Amino acid sequence: MLQQAAVAVGQAAFLARPLRRPPRPYSLGWAVEEGGGVAVGRGCGSHTRLRLSRCSASLSVGAGGYGGEHAPLFPGQQTWDPYKILGVDHDASEEEIRSARNFLLKQYAGHEETEEAIEGAYEKIIMKSYSHRKKSKINLKSKIKKQVEESPSWFRALLGFFEVPSAEIISRRLALFAFIAGWSIVTSAETGPTFQLALSLVSCIYFLNEKMKNLSRASTTGLGVFVGGWIVGSLLVPVIPAFAIPPTWSIELLSSLVTYVFLFLGCTFLK
């Protein structure tokens, strides 16, 4: 009897004990990072289920170089205008655009999505500038061609004797005749430019023969350019003010320099 009474008292004590509610599980707030990662922390969400939300209080860089530090927000990602992304005006120079790009890349180093937005904006602006320059050159050529077509017949016939070679050919021949001119200036006090004039004439005939494939025609053309240059030089020298001419330069040297210019133009641009 005593044993049954003890069991009954124990059951009554157990039933009289207040019930405890199970602990509420912590809710997880998911912060979508602008660098592509997801930061998980307490306090971003208040629901029992998992949800993706933009949590400004715990915005961190998932794949960047900031570590546990907070990354600065990049306001440029809220617009599609590449100039606004870099923070430059539409009439900014390439140097200003490049400086803005380098500054932003340094400021947001390690923030992958932001770096891609900055690089993309920079490439769009540079490609747009390149296309604009290319279009301007095409328009200039078209305008020149149109003006030539509308010019008188005698002017078009005159242009038929000239051609524009490549920049490499122009630079090489310019360097040659500039060297001959400098040689003449250096040796003008000792000897006259006779040898240099002969060398420039032979060079002009050689270059003309490469285009004309006719030595006699090339020789006649080169000699005519030589004589024309010498005559123009002789007439031009007396008109030049005396203070603009070094005292050691003779009239013969000045006429030779003008002749070098005519020979360069003749062997380079004549057909």
- 137-178 tens-digit pLDDT: 666 667 767 776 677 777 777 777 888 889 999 999 999 999
Q: Which long-range contacts (CB under 8 A, 24 or more apart) does 144-148 make?
A: none
| pLDDT of 240 | 83
Query: Residue 227: is its pLDDT beyond 70?
Result: yes
Task: Supply φ then ψ for residue 51, to 5 degrees.
Answer: -145, 150
Helix, strand counts (H, E) of the chain: 9, 3
Note the pLDDT tens digit of each residue in 237-264. Answer: 888 887 888 888 888 889 999 999 999 9
Enter the tokens of residue 21. Answer: 């509610």
Supply the pLDDT for residue 209. 93
CA dihedral for 92, 97, 98, 99, sign (positive or negative): positive
The percentage of the chain sitting over the pLDDT mark of 90, rounded to a whole number, equals: 27
On whether the CB atoms of residues 192 and 252 are closer than 8 A, the answer is yes
Confidence of residue 46 (pLDDT cuts 50, 70, 90): very low
Enclosing H/E stretch for 53: strand 51-53
CA 177 to chain centre: 33
CA–CA distance, 37 with 118 (Å, rounded to integer): 19
CA neighbor of 236 nearest in space, from 173, 182, 244: 244
Instruction: Give Cα 14 to chain centroid, integer Å.
Output: 84
Say how far apart CA 255 and CA 197 lie, in whole Å: 10
pLDDT for 10 equals 54
Residue 201: closest CA among 180, 186, 185, 182: 180
Burial (Cβ within 10 Å: 0-12, 13-18, ≥19) of residue 246? exposed
d(CA 116, CA 34): 12
Q: Are 201 and 187 a contacting pair, CB within 8 Å?
A: no
Residues 6+ apart with CB under 8 A from 259: 197, 200, 226, 229, 230, 233
Q: Spell out the residues 6+ positions from residue 266 whose beta carbon is closer than 8 angstroms to its own.
A: 204, 208, 221, 222, 225
| pLDDT of the residue at 148 | 65
Contact of 122 with 81, CB cutoff 8 Å = no
As a whole number, mean pLDDT of residues 110-124 equals 88
pLDDT at 66 over 50: no
- CA distance to 8, 84, 98, 103, 183, per residue, from 125 (Å): 88, 11, 10, 16, 48
Residue that the structure tokens 């050529």 belong to:
141
pTM score, two decimals?
A: 0.47
